[in-house]
């Protein structure tokens, strides 16, 4: 069968390789000519993942049987539009795909259905201070339709919003931005699968983030299970069910981000995709559910094996694992360590660089500067912590001066 995958970046490579292993013909569309996933596909197209009409044309050209994306927000809407135009299987319809990729639609659904979220307003250029009278500073500003922490800032005054609004809008197709009250919090992610309206929560992880001045929320790790799971299990479950119901999610993957602070749980964002922190590797490791296989099969209209979902029980899961999303100091890469050697260390199940020799690493402003990832497990919390430290001690990315560029947060 022929599968069109939107995106050829590091988050989509596993899907491209797996679909090929399953015997499918894979077409990759990406507006980067040298996107790494294009080295592994059967056919490649120089088309943006945001380009609905362009991808419809690619779908017709190759007479595709299915279309999918993973690890990235906005192409979810493109996939739904293409699937609708070509009468292909897809797990959510176009209105739902709009709701989970546009923060204005999303936030209004939260508000209309009493789904807990932080106070918010929408602003255009030229806004008045009076439009912010119901929001306490500091605030967080975001584009309505972007991804990867682009254009997100923590700010302390209306003047600072005015100074940053052009940059935030530059990452958006809309003429408004989202302004949210900053809520001091820990962050969790809920990943799962919905099958004919039945919700299967697979993992709840702590989303560990790095804040650098105004740039906030850059993810550096996902730790399973969340330290909050025991105390908030029932509330997390109920909120997840409410989101699925009110957004009309009947099938497919879910990836919800929630904030836990002094006022309890607030829903940050919702998505209908596999997460961009290599959940396709983490989830099978800790649950036995091969969610990437489910995704590929469902996208091609192949019946999925639901027994692995039915048998799984999050409350009984005793596994410990972490996805470490590592970053590096600015500079040009002269040499890279041997990842095969790193994977021989205790608990290291996967390790990959996102950059190659001679690439230049820039200052950290969003998730696009991520240098690579490691998937690490341990029998208990202390062993996991030791395995992570040992892995970082062995992780090497040297600049032209011979200095190790890897950042140890």
- The band of 148, judged by pLDDT with boundaries at 50, 70 and 90, is low
Q: Which CATH number fits domain 2-90: 3.40.50.1000, 3.40.50.150, 3.40.50.20, 3.90.1150.10?
A: 3.40.50.20
Residue-wise pLDDT tens digits, 226-254 = 999 999 999 999 999 999 999 999 999 99
| Cα angle, residue 63 at apex, residues 57 and 64 outer, rounded to 5° | 95
Q: How far is Cα 90 from Cα 96, in angstroms, rounded to an integer?
A: 11
Residue 212 has pLDDT above 70, yes or no: no
Burial (CB < 10 A; 0-12, 13-18, 19+), residue 34, is: exposed
Q: Please, where in the chain does CATH 3.30.1490.20 lie?
A: 119-181
- The band of 213, judged by pLDDT with boundaries at 50, 70 and 90, is low
Residue-wise pLDDT tens digits, 285-339 = 999 999 999 999 999 999 988 899 999 999 999 999 999 999 999 999 999 999 9
Tokens matching residue 330: 């600015």
Phi, psi of 274 (to 5 degrees): -75, 140
Tokens matching residue 60: 């017709």
The CATH classification number of 119-181 equals 3.30.1490.20
pLDDT at 221: 97
The answer to whether the beta carbons of residues 274 and 103 sit under 8 Å apart is no
Q: How far is Cα 314 from Cα 233, in angstroms, rounded to an integer?
A: 10
Q: How far is Cα 83 from Cα 404, in angstroms, rounded to an integer?
A: 46
Specify the pTM. Answer: 0.94
Which residue matches tokens 């011979």?
A: 402
- The band of 147, judged by pLDDT with boundaries at 50, 70 and 90, is confident
Q: What is the 3-state secondary structure (H, E, C) of the chain?
A: CEEEEECCCCCCHHHHHHHHHCCCEEEEECCCCCCHHHHCCCEEECCCCCCHHHHHHHHHHHCCCEEECCCCCCHHHHHHHHHHHHCCCCCCCHHHHHHCCCHHHHHHHHHHCCCCCCCEEEEECCCCHHHHCCCCCCEEEEECCCCCCCCCEEECCHHHHHHHHHHHHCCCCCCEEEEEECCCCEEEEEEEEEECCEEEEEEEEEEEEEEECCEEEEEEEEEECCCCHHHHHHHHHHHHHHHHHHHCCCCEEEEEEEEEECCEEEEEEEECCCCCCCHHHHHHHHHCCCHHHHHHHHHCCCCCCCHHHHHCCHHHCCCCEEEEEECECCEEEEEECCHHHHCCCCCEEEEEECCCCCCEECCCCCHHHCCEEEEEECCCHHHHHHHHHHHHHCCCEEECCCCECECCC
Tokens matching residue 232: 């908030």
Residue-wise pLDDT tens digits, 251-285 = 999 999 999 999 999 999 999 999 989 999 999 99
- For domain 186-319, the CATH class is alpha beta
Q: Please, where in the chain does CATH 3.30.470.20 lie?
A: 186-319, 322-399
pLDDT at 409: 82
What value does the mean pLDDT of the chain take? 95
What fold, for 322-399?
A: D-amino Acid Aminotransferase; Chain A, domain 1 (3.30.470)
Which residue matches tokens 């029980």?
A: 313
């Amino acid at each position: 069968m022929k599968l069109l995958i939107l995106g050829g970046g590091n988050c989509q490579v596993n899907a491209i390789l797996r679909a090929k292993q399953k015997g499918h013909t894979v077409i990759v569309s990406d507006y980067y000519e040298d996107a790494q996933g294009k080295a592994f596909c059967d056919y490649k197209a120089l088309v943006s993942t945001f380009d609905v009409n362009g991808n419809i044309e690619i779908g017709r050209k190759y007479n595709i049987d299915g279309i999918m994306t993973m690890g990235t927000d906005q192409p979810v809407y493109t996939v739904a539009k293409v699937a609708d135009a070509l009468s292909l299987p897809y797990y959510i319809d176009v209105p739902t795909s709009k709701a989970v990729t546009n923060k204005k639609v999303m936030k209004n659904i939260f508000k209309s259905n009493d789904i807990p979220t932080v106070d918010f307003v929408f602003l255009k250029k030229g806004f008045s201070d009076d439009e912010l009278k119901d929001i306490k500073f500091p605030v967080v500003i975001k584009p309505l339709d972007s991804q990867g922490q682009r254009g997100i800032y923590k700010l302390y005054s209306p003047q600072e919003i005015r100074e940053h609004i052009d940059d935030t809008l530059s990452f958006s197709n809309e003429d408004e931005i989202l302004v949210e009250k900053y809520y001091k919090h820990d962050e969790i992610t809920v990943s799962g699968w919905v099958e004919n309206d039945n919700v299967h929560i697979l993992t709840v992880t702590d989303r560990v983030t790095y804040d650098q001045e105004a740039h906030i929320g850059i993810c550096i790790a996902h730790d399973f299970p969340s330290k909050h799971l025991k105390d908030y299990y029932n509330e997390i479950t109920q909120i997840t069910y409410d989101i699925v119901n009110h957004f009309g999610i009947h099938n497919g993957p879910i990836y919800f981000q929630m904030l836990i602070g002094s006022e309890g749980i607030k829903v940050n964002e919702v998505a209908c995709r596999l997460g961009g922190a290599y959940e396709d590797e983490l989830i099978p490791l800790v649950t036995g559910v091969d969610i990437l296989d489910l995704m590929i099969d469902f996208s091609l209209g192949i019946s999925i094996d639901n027994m692995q979902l039915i048998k799984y029980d999050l409350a009984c899961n005793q596994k410990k694992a972490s996805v470490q999303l590592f970053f590096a100091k600015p500079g040009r890469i002269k040499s890279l360590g041997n990842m095969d050697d790193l994977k021989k260390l205790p608990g290291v199940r996967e390790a990959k660089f996102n950059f190659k020799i001679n690439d230049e690493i820039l200052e950290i402003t969003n998730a696009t500067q991520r240098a690579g990832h490691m998937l690490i497990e341990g029998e208990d919390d202390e062993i996991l912590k030791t395995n992570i430290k040992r892995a970082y001690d062995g992780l090497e990315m040297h600049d032209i001066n011979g200095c190790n560029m890897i950042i140890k947060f």
